[in-house]
Copies of this chain bind each other. A is one copy, B any other.
């Protein structure tokens, strides 16, 4: 299958998933009384919305970077991509848990669930990246074998932060964990990656820097 088709479908899923996040906000203010206090009281909903929105947005960028290396996709890559999207589409669920329980007794369970979904998505990105690098020729991807080893630090970095966040959620503070998830997204949003506009840059270096690294690696 031409990779453009798989990308277009994935883009559609990302676009719908990121937009469905607003559904969690709609019940706010549906009671008879509406005032500024009521609206501000729901700050966990807004925080969860912003964190998940930025996270899905960056994951979309990473997904695009990875699939941008290949010129065609085969059935195993489609299967791996489907497992990744299974996690992406689920994001509104832990987001809703965090939105409703962040400051209550269920906050730890909510933030741990959020972290576990992110860890699963990180493994999904890693799996796709490993498959792309190890099947570069068949997929029409101009990636040297070393791209895999070069990208290991980034692989580990994002995953490590999510594991730390999940542990903090479990044993220390749910709001602190959510703040970590959000800071991770903001960090990768502004991190100045090597210019993807530079078509002359070796593909391996680009893959190692912009590929599964980033938020989801």
Chain A residues within CB distance 8 Å of chain B: 1, 5, 7-9, 11-26, 28-30, 32-36, 39, 49-50, 53-54, 57-58, 60-61, 64-65, 68, 72, 74-76, 78-79, 82, 85-86, 89-90, 92-93, 96-97, 100-101, 104-106, 109-110, 113, 138, 189-193, 195-197
Closest 6 CB pairs of A and B: A34-B106, A12-B15, A16-B19, A25-B93, A57-B82, A79-B189
Residues on the B chain within 8 Å of A34, using CB: 97, 100-101, 104-106, 109-110
> What's the minimum C-beta distance from A107 to chain B, rounded to whole angstroms?
8
Contact A22 B60 (CB under 8 A): no
Contact B26 A96 (CB under 8 A): yes
> What's the minimum C-beta distance from A200 to chain B, rounded to whole angstroms?
14
Given contacts A16-B19, A22-B92, A189-B82, contact A106 B33 (CB under 8 A): yes
- Please, could you name 16 A-B residue pairs with CB atoms under 8 Å apart, sorted by A? A1-B65, A8-B11, A9-B11, A22-B89, A26-B96, A28-B93, A30-B100, A33-B106, A34-B106, A57-B85, A61-B75, A72-B197, A74-B197, A79-B189, A79-B190, A138-B197
Interface centre among A18, A32, A78, A193 (most CB of B within 10 A): A18
Given contacts A25-B93, A101-B34, A110-B29, contact A192 B18 (CB under 8 A): no
Q: Closest chain B residue to A68 by CB distance?
A: B1
Contact B13 A195 (CB under 8 A): no
> What's the minimum C-beta distance from A86 to chain B, rounded to whole angstroms?
5
Contact B22 A90 (CB under 8 A): yes
